Amino acid sequence: EPEVTQTPSHQVTQMGQEVILRCVPISNHLYFYWYRQILGQKVEFLVSFYNNEISEKSEIFDDQFSVERPDGSNFTLKIRSTKLEDSAMYFCASSLPVGLAETQYFGPGTRLLVL
Amino acid sequence: AQKVTQAQTEISVVEKEDVTLDCVYETRDTTYYLFWYKQPPSGELVFLIRRNSFDEQNEISGRYSWNFQKSTSSFNFTITASQVVDSAVYFCALSDLSGAGSYQLTFGKGTKLSVIP
């Protein structure tokens, strides 16, 4: 069964460093998403991406965040200068186009720890 | 704005008991989707069910059943004859058509279910 994959599973970084989280969505999906979950809290939407551009972003997704689909398979989230409060689990998700099966399937997550 | 409320923060049941997880939602849209996801201790989010706003038929899948009631804006989830493997955090989520056409999910805070052997 096709699934969303994410690398790395864990990432530890120093405050101020840049990190890139990688995701490979399900191959025939066209909508891609990033969510984050601070430990013990609910899952929060960050950004959605379609047709090589951001379609929606939350207020959390400020200028330090960026997303990219550098090739036909990867979808990345970059955090330019990490802060302590960026420590969280980051989930990638993908779905088929609106109007079809909109269920978002999630990857296993990347646990980011900023020291 | 969308909102999902899961009033039960934590529930503990003894194995084989039935348990119902509550979910109440708010949205101004007439077309929307409701979801339940399971987050086991390993951390991943596992899709359980999707319901659209025009389909109020209740659904049963094995030991799982869902009760969708638009009149009370609720989408409750029942596990029958609970098992230890059901121990997890369960999230209810809502998606409706945001301005740019993407169905971002709004999650509730989750209910942590512990099934005691």
In whole angstroms, what is the distance from residue B82 CA to residue A7 CA? 33
- Residue A60: exposure state from Cβ atoms within 10 A (0-12, 13-18, ≥19): middle
Per-residue pLDDT, A101: 46
Using pLDDT thresholds of 50, 70 and 90, give the confidence band for residue B101: low
Tens of pLDDT, residues A36-90: 999 989 999 999 998 889 988 999 999 999 999 988 789 999 999 999 999 999 9
- DSSP structure class, residue A48: E
Of A42, A58, A105, the CB nearest to B47: A105
Q: Is A43 on the interface with B (CB under 8 A)?
A: yes
Average pLDDT over every residue of B28-53: 91
Instruction: Read off the tokens for A92.
Output: 């990638």
In whole angstroms, what is the distance from residue A98 CA to residue B5 CA? 25
Per-residue pLDDT, A99: 58
Query: In whole angstroms, how far apart are CA B46 and each of A70, B28, B92?
Result: 27, 27, 12
Tens of pLDDT, residues A97-107: 765 447 899 99
Q: Which of A42, A67, A92 to mutate to test the interface with B (most CBs of B within 10 A)?
A: A42
Tens of pLDDT, residues B53-87: 888 888 888 999 999 999 999 999 999 999 999 99
Tens of pLDDT, residues B102-113: 678 999 999 999
